Amino acid sequence: MLKNPISLNFKWGSCDEVVAKAPSKIHERLIEQGSLTALLKSQSDSFKVKVLDEQHLMLPQDIAKALASEVEQAVCRQVLLYCDDLPHVYAQSWILLNANEQGLMNLGDKPLGEKLFQQSLWHRGELEVSYVDDTQSHMQLCKLLGAQHSPIFARRSIFTKGSAKVLVCEIFNNEIK
């Protein structure tokens, strides 16, 4: 269990700026415009979501800025996505309270992404990609993902439905074959 969310205060940029630096084995995952859950399911025999933590928290300044939100609190959901019993992705989502009321409440071990892509009224914004350059975040992620100290890459996007917003960040275990 994680009591505090891993900081996502990285240098975010367009896919073109960062993807070329990423290992080729995760290119497809970094630039996937559809559901990452669907892609992971298609690439494995078994898929599961392990919820690490889900709680109401004050929005960190960098997340509030990304969401262009004046709202002070949101639900922070942290999960690991497992394929064939190996952790492939750490995902952290910030769900504004009005978005939580749009059918995103009490998901348990169901994938958030699947829910967002099933409801056609959610619009996905532009993908941003980053290299995890924060030392503490990098160490926490290596431990969670069972990875050595290899480079770690992430992507994020914002889903909107009217004034409701969800920031979804996915961080990839680059050591998965």
pLDDT in tens, 19-53: 777 877 788 888 888 889 999 999 899 999 999 99
Q: Which residue has the higher pLDDT, 39 or 70?
A: 39
158-167: average pLDDT: 93
111: exposed, middle or buried (C-beta count within 10 Å: 0-12, 13-18, 19+)? buried
**What do you get for the CA distance between the two ends of the chain, in Å?**
26
pLDDT in tens, 89-113: 999 999 999 988 888 888 889 999 8
Highest mean pLDDT among 94-103, 116-125, 129-138, 161-170: 161-170
The pLDDT, as a whole number, for residue 131 is 87
Yes or no: say if 104 and 166 are a contact pair by the CB < 8 Å rule.
yes
The pLDDT, as a whole number, for residue 154 is 93
Q: Residue 123 pairs with which residues in a beta bridge?
A: 160
Q: How far apart are CA 137 and CA 133, in angstroms?
A: 8
Cβ burial 138-160 (10 Å sphere, 16+ → b, else e): bebbbebbebeeeebbbbbbbbb
- Rg of the chain over Cα atoms, rounded to whole angstroms, equals 15
Q: Residue 47 pairs with which residues in a beta bridge?
A: 83
Q: How far apart are CA 55 and CA 148, in angstroms?
A: 29
Q: Which residue has the higher pLDDT, 16 or 60?
A: 60
C-alpha dist (Å) from residue 82 to 28, 101, 127, 171: 17, 27, 22, 13
Contacts of 70 (CB under 8 A, 6+ apart): 64
Nearest CA-CA partner of 98 in 37, 153, 177, 165: 165
Is-above-0.85 flag for pTM?
yes
